[in-house]
């Protein structure tokens, strides 16, 4: 697989993660790395995590890292699927990091000579929330999605399980 960066973006439960998994598996000559960013929050979130683990079975080497993506990716010698950037943004905000911290981390990743597939929720299609934290999350997510898409070789938008290449 030629070294490249790819973004799968779409709404929640749009099928972007599934399609990103198929994409990286198809393009990899060795077992790719699944970089899981979700932190255990509650029973429902644990069920989601378990479902993702079951779906990917033994097709991936899995690393669970909620914050330090750059460090985790630099340790990998196979293509990496980052699942997902939206949960990483959530984690970073929860742990007191700001937009510039996140931007710097992603810029370093985008400069790596490694194949990385990013999965990100498209949160820009809704209404402006009534609370400051949700507005901050949406603003950061929107700005970071633009950064990632600009630097990626390929970008796929996913709706109803169908990923369409838009770049």
Asked if residue 38 lies in contact with residue 45, where contact means CB atoms within 8 angstroms, the answer is: yes
Q: What is residue 36's three-state secondary structure?
A: strand
Edge-to-edge strands, sheet with 33-36? 61-64, 33-36, 80-83, 116-121, 5-10, 154-159, 162-165
Q: Within 13 Å, how many C-alpha atoms sit on residue 115's CB side?
A: 20
Q: Which of 16, 52, 56, 157 is catalytic?
A: 52
Annotated catalytic residue 52: yes
Catalytic center residues: 52
């Amino acid at each position: 697989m030629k070294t490249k960066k790819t973004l799968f973006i779409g709404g929640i439960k749009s099928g972007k993660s599934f399609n990103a998994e198929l994409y990286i598996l198809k393009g990899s000559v060795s077992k790719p790395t699944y970089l899981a960013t979700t932190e255990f929050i509650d029973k429902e979130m644990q069920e989601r995590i378990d479902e993702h683990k079951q779906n990917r079975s033994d097709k991936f080497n899995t690393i669970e890292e909620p914050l330090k993506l750059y460090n985790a990716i630099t340790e990998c010698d196979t293509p990496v699927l980052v699942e997902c950037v939206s949960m990483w943004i959530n984690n970073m905000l929860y742990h007191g990091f700001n937009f510039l911290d996140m931007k710097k981390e992603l810029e370093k990743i985008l400069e790596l000579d490694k194949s990385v597939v990013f999965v990100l929720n498209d949160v820009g299609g809704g209404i402006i929330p009534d609370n400051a934290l949700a507005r901050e999350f949406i603003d950061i997510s929107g700005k970071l999605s633009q950064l990632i898409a600009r630097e990626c070789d390929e970008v796929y938008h996913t709706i109803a399980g169908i990923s369409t290449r838009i770049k």
